[in-house]
Structure 1
Amino acid sequence: MFEGVYPALITPFKDNQQRELDLEGLKSNIDFLISQGVHGIVPCGSTGESATLTFEEHEEVIKKSVEVADGRVPVLAGTGSNNTAEAVRFTKAARDIGADGVLVLSPYYNKPNRSGLVKHYEKLADLDIPVVIYNVPGRTGQNLLPDLIIELAEYPGIAGIKEASGDITQVSAIIEGTRDFDFTVISGDDAMTLPILALGGGGVISVTANVEPEMMVKMYESFESGSLDEARKMHYLLSPMFRTMFIETNPIPVKTAVGMRGMAAGPLRLPLDELDKDKKEILKGVLERYD
């Protein structure tokens, strides 16, 4: 269902003491990304600093994203939490606003057991909106293994997984085990996109696409059209950017890069802080290679 290049949107803030939402800036960014051919958008993920948004702000960002997308591309809204009741609340809100699906990271910090994970996702799968599981062990402290994902893929309400384990063998096992289901495996790591597409994955939820959306789309569409040489060429052209987006904790580099490109960004919210001077120079130098 959710295939192609989906930028994991940053959340622009105003440069004031309150770090208020910049919803007009969000609109401008979304319009630009859609004009560059992206296939969908993902507000309120970790790249959107969701951990520092209030529930009301979370809802405002999703509402604005749905309004601006206006059916031109699907909106896959981040609604994860380590509290099942809170994840249900976020997911119901996204559904009622009109999001096309939700992206739900596995509960972080409390490290639920297998039965708890199954029940957590079952509750969300019953809310009448497609659920994409998000496996990102580096942030949650827990890896969702292929046998668990294959079991969850049997639920009609679970539409796919954003896979950011960094383990290509694991990704392959998930794709192998879910081929008979209506289930999409999406790369959660820009640098892994082309290998995952080659295994049968459906696309990428991308940090880099905030900065180089046209190139990311070209890589994906070249692969889909059978132009593997062109897709590989784009992969290597983008590789320095892939690496640079993670010279510091995401979304610090990408939000800085978006601001350097003259798009709406603004400051980060604590506990994230601005990129240090040396890393800013590295980022600036890499961005200049793509101008």
Structure 2
Amino acid sequence: MIKGSIVAIATPMKQNGVIDWGSLINLVKFHLINKTDAILAAGTTGENTTMTLEEHFRVIHTIVKEVNKKIPIVAGVGANSTKEAVNLTKMAKEAGAEYGLSVTPYYNKPTQKGMYNHFKEVASVGLPIIVYNVPKRTGVDINNETILKLSKIENIVGIKESSGNLARALELIDQYKDKEFYLLSGDDSTACEFILAGGHGVISVSSNIVPKQMHELCIASRKGKLELAYKINKKLMPLHYALSLESNPIPVKWALKKMGLVKKGIRLPLTWLSKKYHKTLLKTLKSLEVIKS
């Protein structure tokens, strides 16, 4: 079962935008040492939308090989073209991923029926699929009724809920309490409440920076240890805020560079973090003792 802190791992790049494969392997080792529960490879934080198909495959395969079955690997396989999403899912399966994360089709704004049929096609590949709902990025919101219908399809095994509507997420949790369906938060700032209510974990941006603390937060929340969960969550809230100062993964790559884990590299249309945010993020990193100066 996939649960706990699932890092949406950043893809290290050199200043010219070429993927830094050595740093990617070192990042994976960093997460294995610090108890990350699973890795999402080539997701939004991994800048999958700017990758070639060859790069996409190699990123997933590199992570799969380095992890060597120690923890589960989820691969980003979303696209707004159903045919492309199916092909990405086939590729992820071939690369060795155990799950695929497939976002609701963006820009073309399909109906609920269109999204149902889209994910049905993606699931037909045979790789277990986690549906990703993030309307603020995609312009479309898959409703709980459609998710319930999708959960009855073979190989659709979970939802990453990033609508920002905690009440609706809690409604989903209530519907699936006694069913084999993964309920994953896609929002670090509300993940604690989500898991305390019965969710299984979080696909996290913040765990790029504080993997051990996010792992511990998930454990405390899943065990219902309210005092400990709230204590960890309170400490991490400034980081969740700071990592959203500009579009993800801009702040997280800047933070990883400050930690000495990656070089200064990001692909257009994203740019390096604006100087006006450096002080805020630096202060947050120091307060969490992930950097000393």
Q: Structures share a fold, TM > 0.5?
A: yes
The CA RMSD over aligned residues, in Å, is: 1.1
The answer to whether structure 1 residue 119 and structure 2 residue 117 are counterparts is yes
Q: How far does residue 20 in structure 1 lie from its aligned partner after superposition?
A: 1.1
Residue 7 of structure 1 corresponds to 7
Residues in 1 aligned to 2:165 and 2:223: alpha-carbon distance in whole angstroms: 26
Match of 2:176 in 1: 178
Matches within 5 A, 1:1-291: 1-16=1-16, 19-291=17-289
Distance 1:178 1:110 in 2: 30
Map Cα deviations across residues 201-250 of structure 1 (whole Å, 9 max, x no partner).
00000000000111111111122334221111000000000110101111
Q: Is the 8 A contact 1:108 1:141 kept in 2?
A: yes
CA distance in 2, matches of 1:57, 1:7: 19
Query: Which amino acid in structure 1 is aligned with residue 135 of structure 2?
Result: P
Q: Deviations over 1:143-183 (max 9, x none)?
A: 11111111111112111011000101110221222335321
Deviation at 1:21, TM superposition (A): 1.1
SS in 1 for 2:171: helix
Deviations 1:8-36 (A, max 9, x none): 010111223xx111111101001101110
Instruction: Look up the SS of the partner of 2:45 in the other structure.
Output: helix
> Normalised by the size of structure 2, how large is the TM-score?
0.96
Compute the displacement of 1:79 (Å): 0.6
Count the aligned residue pairs. Answer: 289
Q: After the TM superposition, which parts of structure 1 deviate over 6 Å for at least 4 consecutive aligned residues?
A: none
Q: Could you tell me whether the CA contact under 8 Å between 2:9 and 2:39 is conserved in 1?
A: yes
CA contact (8 A) 2:196 2:224 kept: no
Q: Which runs of 5+ in 1 are unaligned?
A: none
Deviation at 1:265, TM superposition (A): 4.3
TM-score normalised by the chain length of structure 1: 0.97
